[in-house]
Amino acid sequence: MDAIFIGMARDGDLATSYQRTRHAAMRFLTDFLDRELRVGRRVLAGFDFPFGYPAGFARTLTGTDDSLAVWAALAARIEDDAHNRNNRFDVAEALNGLFPGVGPFWGCPAGRATVNLPARGTLRHGHGMAEKREVERRLPRAQPCWKLFTTGSVGSQALLGLPHLHALRMRYGAALSVSPFQPPETPIVLAEIYPGLIDAAIKSRLRPDEILDAAQVRLMARAVARLDPARLGALLREGDRREGWILGLGAEAELTAALD
């Protein structure tokens, strides 16, 4: 969680930027988006973490089924400073307290584990939430959004990332929309991506000594940028508007072909 790569594609040109912290990445991104807006270019910004949770979570947390309301609720709870120090385990434990039984969030250093935030997923019970969203049930490799620690801990990425995306919504207002929750007709569109969709294609195109994370964002940017605009627009409208969706699910062959 201390390395963030940003891939950019425009008119056939590719660039990759490395940022050490989430705050540094957000400064880079907002500077970029500000410039693009000033010159009238549209931007699709993809983020490799879940934009939503299994059905029922939003209603328990916010009283609605609106995943964007979850973003605001997390932004009000999460503390995340310029050095990546954060309170995600405290927030996850408090969120678990909204549900019966134990869970759904799990995973933390052994010394941080409590009855209400277990270190192992097998210690949860009776919380009533599905383990995965529909989009993840279609992708066996995808990790559940409840997992907060060790390899594949996308749960921590979501808890910490969604408040920053909420800040983008507040900054850009009507100029920004979120796929698939809103029509993707604005100058800035945010979408959930998952490089694992085309994992084999990416790994076969790694440059010598290139870090996999850097290759993933570089090649995903290239593939999406090369899709026919009408097709891309259709993909941005697909998916579950309560739980969120991964851009390009079902279009893996098209994304792979776009790389060449």
pLDDT (tens digit per residue) in 60-110: 999 999 999 999 999 999 999 999 999 999 999 999 999 999 999 999 998
Which pLDDT does position 1 carry in this prediction? 46
Which pLDDT does position 140 carry in this prediction? 87
Which helix H or strand E contains 49, and what residues bound it?
none
Residue 238 lies in a domain: yes
- Answer yes or no: do 35 and 67 share one domain: no
User: Amino acid identity of 123?
Assistant: L
- Answer yes or no: do 117 and 149 share one domain: yes
Residue 163 lies in a domain: no
Q: How confident is the model at residue 2 (pLDDT cuts 50, 70, 90)?
A: low
Q: How far is CA 99 from the centre of its chain?
A: 24
- Answer yes or no: do 106 and 87 share one domain: yes
Give a three-class secondary structure readout of 182-238: CCCCCCEEEEECCHHHHHHHHHCCCCCCCCHHHHHHHHHHHHHHCCCHHHHHHHHHC
For strand 4-10 and strand 176-178, is the pairing parallel, antiparallel, or unpaired? unpaired
Q: How confident is the model at residue 128 (pLDDT cuts 50, 70, 90)?
A: very high
pLDDT (tens digit per residue) in 195-235: 999 999 999 999 999 999 999 999 999 999 999 999 999 99
Residue 102 lies in a domain: yes
Task: Select from 109, 68, 69 the least CA-distant residue to 88.
Answer: 109
Task: Select from 222, 217, 226 the least CA-distant residue to 17.
Answer: 217
- Answer yes or no: do 15 and 65 share one domain: no
CB-based contact 184:233 (threshold 8 Å):
yes
Residue 201 lies in a domain: yes
pTM reported for the whole predicted model = 0.96
Mark which of 122, 157, 192 sits at the end of a domain. Answer: 157
Residue 187 lies in a domain: yes
Which helix H or strand E contains 35, and what residues bound it?
helix 22-39
Strand partners, 176: 188
The residue-averaged pLDDT of 132-161 equals 96
Residue 164 lies in a domain: no
pLDDT (tens digit per residue) in 14-37: 999 999 999 999 999 999 999 999
- Answer yes or no: do 246 and 206 share one domain: yes
- Answer yes or no: do 74 and 33 share one domain: no
- Secondary structure (3-state) at 39: helix
- Answer yes or no: do 107 and 139 share one domain: yes
pLDDT of 242 strictly over 90: yes
- Answer yes or no: do 218 and 182 share one domain: yes
Residue 162 lies in a domain: no
Mark which of 124, 157, 190 sits at the end of a domain. Answer: 157
Contacts of 159 (CB under 8 A, 6+ apart): 74, 78, 88, 91, 92, 148
How many domains does one find in the chain? 2
Residue 196 lies in a domain: yes
- Answer yes or no: do 45 and 74 share one domain: no
Please give the Cα distance from 74 to 91 (Å, whole number): 8
Which pLDDT does position 3 carry in this prediction? 81
Mark which of 127, 157, 187 sits at the end of a domain. Answer: 157
- Answer yes or no: do 182 and 249 share one domain: yes
Task: Give me the domain span that covers residue 253.
Answer: 4-50+169-258
